[in-house]
């Protein structure tokens, strides 16, 4: 079975992905700096669960520590790298842009260097729906130009896409970039809406609702998301000189110049924020107090994924209904925090 390096393995998505890969018999090497952007205990707990699988090993180091990263790569020689570690969060990038420069630009450059040196079969890296920025044509598809990032977070992820493309071209390195759309589910991030809303509701606090509730998101359940990643591992972008053997997909984002493509992983369903909150209230059996606030700087009113390319490549489309996903999250939250 193949050996996969997963960066950000103690993170929300990295944890779920590593678990799925381990359950399927892969060897997983986790790499995570356990940053204190949010509660480190939940990151430790995720790694503790992964450590119960004999084929899991991990290293706690930062991506910026090139020595540590290359040493691990040279020892373990993973065939595939899935790069999820990043300074995430749209709003925090207004406060601390340097963290994004260090983790997302320098860190991703170091991962690219390792992938090049190892000549991996496939490098897969996380981008975000935030790169669609000020685009208004919906649903968002991968062939749309997106040159209007509204936050520095989005700008670093857009830069990662460009960096990935250049390495794919120069070194013939197959690279897939995922654009994720608002991922949610058990062991989720404490800085994201669902966690914050449930936490506040159970403490009797009010929640902050931006743009007076006039927002919509394409919420993607984490099990769907990591299954999509798993399927895309096998959809290796073809090198330019090998393309004559396959029929091109009409909706492909494959680069004309490199073995490189961008793929949305989203639910292709736009959920209104107020409907999302109502579903949480229904599950909790209570009404949540709300502070209705104006739009925040850098926020976008809506996201909505065209998941047609994902489906063409993998025969899979995320399909967990929001009520089920919220229910799973709330059950996990109550059990984990004993409330
Ligand atoms: N969760 C979402 O809704 C969402 C949406 C779009 C894109 N993404 C992207 O998906 C990826 C995973 O996101 P997540 O939600 O799991 O976030 P997360 O914050 O839970 O996980 C990221 C992990 O990376 C680690 N990390 C951060 N900087 C590091 C560094 N410099 N060196 C080593 N480790 C470092 C952190 O400790 C953390 O465990 C990120 O690249 C994020 O930008 C997430």
User: Given a cut of 90, is residue 115 above it in pLDDT?
Assistant: yes
If you search the block for the tokens 């540590």, which residue do you land on?
68
131 pLDDT band (50/70/90 cuts)?
A: very high
User: How far is Cα of residue 96 from the mean position of the Cα atoms in its chain?
Assistant: 20
Is residue 199 one of the residues assigned to a domain? no
Point out which residues pair with 179 in neighbouring strands.
Answer: 127, 264
Is residue 77 one of the residues assigned to a domain? yes
Is residue 190 one of the residues assigned to a domain? no
| Ligand 1 centroid, distance to 131 Cα (angstroms) | 16
pLDDT in tens, 230-283: 999 999 999 988 888 888 899 999 999 999 999 999 999 999 999 999 999 999
Instruction: Please provide residue 116's backbone torsions phi and psi, each rounded to the nearest 5 degrees.
Output: -65, -45
Half-sphere exposure of residue 146, counting CA atoms within 13 Å on the CB side? 29
Q: Which residue ranges have their beta carbon within 6 Å of ligand 1?
A: 8, 10-14, 32-35, 43, 62-64, 84-88, 103, 107, 126, 128, 180, 182-183, 189
Burial class from Cβ neighbours inside 10 Å (0-12, 13-18, 19+) for residue 23 reads: exposed
Is residue 294 one of the residues assigned to a domain? no
Nearest to 197 by CA among 299, 130, 283: 283
Q: Known catalytic residue: 153?
A: yes
The residue whose CA has the least distance to atom 20 of ligand 1 is 11
Distance CA 167, CA 117 (A): 11
Is residue 324 one of the residues assigned to a domain? no
- The distance in angstroms from the start CA to the end CA of the chain is 41
Is residue 204 one of the residues assigned to a domain? no
Share of the chain above pLDDT 70, in %: 100
What CATH number does residue 175 fall under?
A: 3.40.50.720
Give, in order, the Cα–Cα distances in Å from 5 to each of 21, 101, 174, 314.
11, 22, 15, 22
104-126: average pLDDT: 98
The residue whose CA has the least distance to atom 15 of ligand 1 is 12
Work out which ligand 1 atom sits closest to the CA atom of 14. Answer: 16
Choosing from 153, 167, 210, 260, which is the catalytic residue?
Answer: 153
Is residue 31 one of the residues assigned to a domain? yes
120 pLDDT band (50/70/90 cuts)?
A: very high
| Ligand 1 centroid, distance to 21 Cα (angstroms) | 18
Is residue 327 one of the residues assigned to a domain? no
Domain that holds residue 224: 3-185+220-267+303-319
Work out which ligand 1 atom sits closest to the CA atom of 38. Answer: 19
| Ligand 1 centroid, distance to 8 Cα (angstroms) | 6
The residue whose CA has the least distance to atom 26 of ligand 1 is 85
| Ligand 1 centroid, distance to 303 Cα (angstroms) | 19
| Ligand 1 centroid, distance to 37 Cα (angstroms) | 10
pLDDT: which is higher, 218 or 242: 218
User: Given a cut of 90, is residue 114 above it in pLDDT?
Assistant: yes
Q: Are strands 216-217 and 271-272 parallel, antiparallel or unpaired?
A: antiparallel
The number of distinct structural domains making up the chain is 1
């Amino acid at each position: 079975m193949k050996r996969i390096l997963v960066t950000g393995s103690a993170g929300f998505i990295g944890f779920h992905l590593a678990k799925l890969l381990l359950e399927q018999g892969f060897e997983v090497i986790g790499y995570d700096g356990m940053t204190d952007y949010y509660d480190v205990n939940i990151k430790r707990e995720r790694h503790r669960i992964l450590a119960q699988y004999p084929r899991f090993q991990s290293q706690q180091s930062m991506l910026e520590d090139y020595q540590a990263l290359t040493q691990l790569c040279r020892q373990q020689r993973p065939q595939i790298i899935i790069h999820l570690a990043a300074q995430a969060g749209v709003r925090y990038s207004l406060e601390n842009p340097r963290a994004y420069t260090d983790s997302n630009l320098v860190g991703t450059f170091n991962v690219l260097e390792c992938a090049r040196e190892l000549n991996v079969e496939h490098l897969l890296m996380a981008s975000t729906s935030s790169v669609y920025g000020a685009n208004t044509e919906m649903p968002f598809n991968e062939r749309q130009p997106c040159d209007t990032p509204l936050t520095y977070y989005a700008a670093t992820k857009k830069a990662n896409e460009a960096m990935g493309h250049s390495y794919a071209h120069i070194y013939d390195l197959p690279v897939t970039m995922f654009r994720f759309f608002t991922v949610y589910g058990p062991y989720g991030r404490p800085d994201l809406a669902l966690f914050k809303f449930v936490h506040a509701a159970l403490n009797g606090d009010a929640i902050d609702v931006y743009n007076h509730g006039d927002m919509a998101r394409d919420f993607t359940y984490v099990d769907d998301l990591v299954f999509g990643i798993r399927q895309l591992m096998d959809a290796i972008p073809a090198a330019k000189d090998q393309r004559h053997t396959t029929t091109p997909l009409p909706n492909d984002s494959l680069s004309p110049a490199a073995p490189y493509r961008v793929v949305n992983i989203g639910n292709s369903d736009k959920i209104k924020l107020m409907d999302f909150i109502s579903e949480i209230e229904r599950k909790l059996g209570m009404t949540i107090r709300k502070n209705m606030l104006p739009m925040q700087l850098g926020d976008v009113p809506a996201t909505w994924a065209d998941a047609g390319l994902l489906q063409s490549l993998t025969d899979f489309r995320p399909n967990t209904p929001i009520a089920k996903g919220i229910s799973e999250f709330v059950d996990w939250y109550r059990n984990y925090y004993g409330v």
